[in-house]
Amino acid sequence: MIELVGLRKVYSPGTPAEVVALRGVDLVVPRGEFLAIMGASGSGKSTMMNMIGCLDQPSAGTYRCDGVDVATLDATQRAKLRLEKIGFVFQGFNLLSRQTALENVMMPLVYSNVPVAERAPRALEALAEVGLADRAGHRPNELSGGQQQRVAIARALINQPPLLLADEPTGALDSRTSEEIMALFERLQAGGRTIVIITHERPIAEHADRIVVMHDGQLHADGWVPKENAA
């Protein structure tokens, strides 16, 4: 699903403010894998996530998303790839306060040119997938933090993307709610999605199949996480 080869990112190259954020990163994420990216602030993990999400372009190297070399795409084609292939989940939920859960989830369908009559049924189906069909008419301030994050996940799923990217998805949640959100990600993975999360918390990362640790723009460690039910 994801292939990074020699990925390098330099900000303000050739100037006194030059920052090398990625230093030749190689990474393969098979379809259906659950990957966690860890690292201290400034380690390069957010830059790598932006590259994977097609929100930024590398200075050198290759990124293939679902077999497509992203460097061959223009801005419009990259936007289309993000819309169809990638769902984003953020720490701050990013919900529109004056809209209901259903209306928030429907938003991406506007950009997908989905007929108006199909939007509400599809959004309700996405809310049902995260266990919130009965909260469709509630606004964000009427929902708990965990429920708001579920709405955000439903919004990320609305176009049925094969890849889900989550940046600190439990950072604003208590430990019990965090575990509930991670259990939801595990169910989504079981349904066939590829999931990549950024987290500072080792217990959260251990829900993934594999943990990658970033340090100074390079992969510091790459290992499989033993599962309790493994043979």
Give the residues of the chain that fall short of pLDDT 50: 229-231
Each residue's pLDDT tens digit, 131-140: 899 999 999 9
Give the length of the chain: 231
Alpha-carbon distances of 1 from 67, 69, 209, rounded to whole Å? 7, 12, 15
What does pTM read for this prediction? 0.87
Domain membership flag for residue 230: no
Give me the residues paired with residue 63 across strands: 4
Cα 143 from chain centroid (whole Å): 22
Cα 46 from chain centroid (whole Å): 11
Domain membership flag for residue 150: yes
Burial class of residue 173 (count of CB atoms within 10 Å of its CB; 0-12, 13-18, 19+) = buried
Looking at residue 91, what is its pLDDT? 79
Domain membership flag for residue 176: yes
Each residue's pLDDT tens digit, 176-228: 888 988 998 999 999 999 999 999 888 999 999 999 999 999 987 777 666 55
Give the range of the structural domain holding residue 113, as residue numbers without chain letter.
2-224
Number of domains in the chain: 1
Domain membership flag for residue 229: no
H or E, element range at 163: strand 163-167
Domain membership flag for residue 100: yes
Domain membership flag for residue 231: no
CATH number, domain of 51, equals: 3.40.50.300
Burial class of residue 154 (count of CB atoms within 10 Å of its CB; 0-12, 13-18, 19+) = buried
Residues 6+ apart with CB under 8 A from 175: none
C-alpha span between 212 and 193 (Å, rounded): 19
Domain membership flag for residue 137: yes
